[in-house]
Structure 1
């Protein structure tokens, strides 16, 4: 990964592009607890306008479950890959192909919550994925990481540990945002279009790699760091303003603060 080519993205193409969007840290500011984020009406309207402009070639690519994304963006039920691609909704308002929680992951979640849950650490159970959020208690990130790495030794093969900016996750190997993007790119609404993927975290790197291989635009949101993304926008506000400009709206550096 390199930060040497970390440049502001070019103007969004006028046509023939497909848009893939992470949610937290990309469309919404991070909060100490994942349930504390708020989606404003202006953002919902922007997503509807983008989906219409792109003739349906828009999808969330998120670590959240699709059910949670639906709750956040209600009444919208957009195309989405949830749980890093372990569940999908391939058509707007269509059915969700969901993933269930294995018994060993459920037991591990209870053990970790018993130790860290009393210290403002949020243990999120997302089917086969276990996410430990330490944004409210950053000093406990090393301990959370140690717990999931130790658990990995005793779980069936096929799991991996993924470190994030403010937490750590345990997930199946097949959970990868790049694979989710490839699945959508085979659908009629996406075929032949240039992919654009916006994300902010280490879990988005496989998506950046995939979009780069396809000749698309990979855009990382947030302050500079080592990344495979070829372009950058410094904040959620800038990301939303950039997307809004593609629909003909005037960019506004305070976009997300005005979106409620």
Structure 2
């Protein structure tokens, strides 16, 4: 594991050479611009089409690695269905038409969410209940981020052991220790069609750092979009627009990256 995060200045993501690649994608802040409310984002037909083409060219070796649930990812990108690790890997669908394997939430999570929501009830903070994960979005009220973080840290004492607090760019989340994007990447890399390919991961937030570590350990390409602090990612892209353009330039029209017949 790389325990020495790099400075904020990173080289731009390079053009990829010919090879067999596996692609892992965060959603919010990477493929979609953040919104004040998670439900306010939208997916363009162009992005949906691009991802479909990339999935076909890579022989299905494409997966979302996201904090959103599998159900929400499917709804956002409908009718496109990709492989997904949702809730930071606590639930996953290893094949586009396969079953969703999910984790249960502790019984006291709902009560904690209610208490935090009552404390922060100003109409601008959004409390997102995602089973075993509690997310507090303060993008519309950045002045409440410190208080939200404090409340979530206090809530740790009321949950079973094995939970942690993950701060983000515009919010904070409470989640089980096993919710880790790196573990989700490794799960996919152990199965077809990912096995034997070189992984690439695009993410934008603190929760993606664990995924970058797994990619680096596998000799892959880790790219952070709009980096705002220390990161173990190797490269950067300045914003969502450039991230999508990079994906199109490297995966959409390059026959060298398409799946080779076995």
TM-score if structure 1 supplies the norm length?
Answer: 0.93
1:4, distance to aligned residue in structure 2 (A): 6.6
Structure-2 residue corresponding to 1:246: 250
| Contact 2:36–2:139 (CA under 8 A) maintained in structure 1 | yes
How far the C-alpha of 1:47 sits from its partner, in A, is 0.6
Structure-2 residue corresponding to 1:158:
162
Q: CA deviation at 1:248?
A: 4.7
Match of 2:22 in 1: 18
Pair 1:240–1:169, CA change in 2 (3 A) = same
- Unpaired runs of 5+ in structure 1? 251-260
Match of 1:114 among 111, 114, 118: 118
1:5: Cα distance to partner?
6.5
Post-superposition CA distance 1:135-164 (Å, at most 9, x none): 000000111111111110121101001110
Task: Supply the RMSD in Å over aligned alpha carbons.
Answer: 1.4
**How many Å apart are 1:118 and its aligned residue?**
2.9
Q: Please give the secondary structure, in 2, of the residue aligned with 1:130.
A: strand
Deviation per residue, 1:201-249 (Å, 9 max, x gap) = 0000000011001100000000453110000000000000000012455
Does residue 200 in structure 1 map to residue 195 in structure 2? no
Q: Does 1:49 align with 2:57?
A: no
Query: Is residue 85 of structure 1 aligned with residue 86 of structure 2?
Result: no
Q: SS where residue 145 of structure 1 aligns? A: helix
| 2: CA distance, partners of 1:199 / 1:11 | 17
Pick one of 62, 66, 74 that aligns with 2:70.
66
1:117-196 equivalence runs, <5 A:
117-196=121-200
> Per the alignment, do residues 113 and 248 of structure 1 end up closer, same or farther by CA in structure 2, a change over 3 Å counting?
closer
SS in 2 for 1:118: coil
- 2:53/2:252 contact within 8 Å kept: no
Stretch moving more, 221-230 or 139-148: 221-230
Aligned position for 1:222: 226
Q: Which moved more, 1:64-73 or 1:98-107?
A: 98-107
Higher alpha-carbon deviation: 149-158 or 120-129: 149-158
CA shift at 1:98, angstroms? 1.6
Distance, in Å, in 1 between the alignment partners of 2:148 and 2:85 is 26
How many residues end up aligned between the 2 structures?
Answer: 250
Contact 1:15 1:54 in 2 (8 A): no
Match of 1:212 among 216, 219, 231: 216
Q: Aligned partners of 2:138 and 2:8: how far apart in 1?
A: 30
* 2:210 match: secondary structure: helix
Q: Match of 1:254?
A: none
Q: State the Cα distance separating 1:100 from its structure 2 match.
A: 2.7
Aligned pair 1:233/2:237, yes or no?
Answer: yes
Compared with structure 1, are the counterparts of its residues 248 and 61 closer, same or farther at alpha carbon in structure 2 (3 Å cutoff)? closer
Cα displacement (A) at 1:13: 3.6
